Structure 1
Amino acid sequence: MSEQRELRADCANCFALCCVAPAFAASVDFAIDKDAGRPCSNLRADFRCGIHADLRDKGFRGCTVYDCFGAGQQVSQHTFGGRDWRADPDTARRMFAVFPIMRDLHELLWYLSEALALPPARPLADRLGRTRREIERLTEGDPDDLLKIDVDAWRREANALLSRASELARAGTPGHDHRGADLMGRNLSGRDLRGANLRGARLIGANLRDADLAGADLTGADLRDADVRGADLGTSLFLTQAQLDAAKGDAGTRLPATRVRPAHWPGARVP
Structure 2
Amino acid sequence: MRSLQADCSQCFGLCCVALPFARSADFPVDKAAGEPCRNLLADHRCGIHHRLAQDGWRGCVTFDCFGAGQQVSQVTFGGVSWREAPDTAPSMYAVLPVMRQLHEMLAHLQDALALEPGAALRADLSDALAEVEAATGGTPDQVLAVDLAALRSRVGGLLRDVSASERARRRRRAGIPTPPRRLRAGADLAGADLRGRDLRTADLRWADLLGADLRDADLRGARLDGALFLTRPQLAAART
Answer yes or no: is the 8 Å Cα contact 1:195–1:213 preserved in 2. Answer: yes
Q: CA deviation at 1:122?
A: 5.0
Is the 8 Å Cα contact of residues 121 and 169 (structure 1) preserved in structure 2? no
Deviations 1:84-105 (A, max 9, x none): 1012332101100111111111
Kept after mapping to 1: 8 A contact 2:116/2:122: no
Structure 1 equivalent of residue 43 of structure 2? 46
Matches within 5 A, 1:189-200: 193-200=184-191
AA in 1 matched with 2:84: A
1:252-271 aligned at under 5 Å gives the runs none
> 2:58 matched to which residue of 1?
61
Match of 2:228 among 237, 241, 257: 237
Query: 1:68 and 1:177 mapped to 2: Cα distance?
Result: 33
Q: Distance in 1 between matches of 2:118 and 2:191?
A: 21
Change (3 A) 1:45 1:177: farther
How far the C-alpha of 1:119 sits from its partner, in A, is: 2.9
CA shift digits 1:68-126 (9 cap, x unpaired): 11100000000000011012332101100111111111111111011001134554111
Q: What is the aligned partner in structure 1 of residue 164 from structure 2?
A: 167
SS in 2 for 1:171: helix
Which stretch shows the higher mean deviation, 168-177 or 231-240?
168-177
Instruction: Measure, in 2, the Cα distance between the counterparts of 1:120 and 1:221.
Output: 23
Shift of 1:211: 1.2
The answer as to whether partners of 2:203 and 2:222 remain within 8 angstroms in 1 is: yes
Greater relative contact order: 1 or 2 (C-alpha under 8 angstroms, separation 6 or more)?
2
Name the CA distance, whole Å, in 2 between partners of 1:80 and 1:194: 44
Alignment of 1:57-206 (within 5 A): 57-120=54-117, 122-172=119-169, 173=171, 174-176=178-180, 193-206=184-197
Amino acid at match of 1:207: D
Indicate if the aligned counterparts of 1:8 and 1:69 stay in contact, CA closer than 8 A.
yes
Whether the 8 Å contact between 1:177 and 1:198 is mirrored in structure 2 is no
1:138 CA displacement: 0.9
Partner Cα distance (1:205, 1:121) in 2: 37
Amino acid of the residue matched to residue 9 of structure 2?
A
Q: Which runs of 5+ in 1 are unaligned?
A: 179-191, 250-271
Q: Return the offset for 1:234.
A: 1.2
CA contact (8 A) 2:82 2:88 kept: yes
Structure 2 partner of 1:13 = 10
Rate the CA distance shift 1:161–1:50 in 2: closer, same or farther, 3 A: same
Cα distance in 1 between the residues matched to 2:15 and 2:179? 37
Which has the larger share of helix?
2
Alpha carbons 1:196, 1:217 under 8 Å: kept: yes
TM-superposed CA distance for 1:135, in Å, is: 0.8
- Say if 1:135 and 1:177 are closer, same or farther in 2 by CA, change over 3 A: farther
TM-score (norm 2): 0.93
Q: 1:197 to 1:122 in 2, by over 3 A?
A: farther
Identity, % of aligned pairs? 54
> Per the alignment, do residues 70 and 175 of structure 1 end up closer, same or farther by CA in structure 2, a change over 3 Å counting?
farther
Task: Name stretches of at least 5 consecutive residues in structure 2 with no aligned partner.
Answer: 172-177
Match of 2:217 in 1: 226
**Aligned residues of 1:115 and 1:121 also touching (Cα < 8 A):** no
**Alignment TM-score, normalising by the size of structure 1:** 0.83
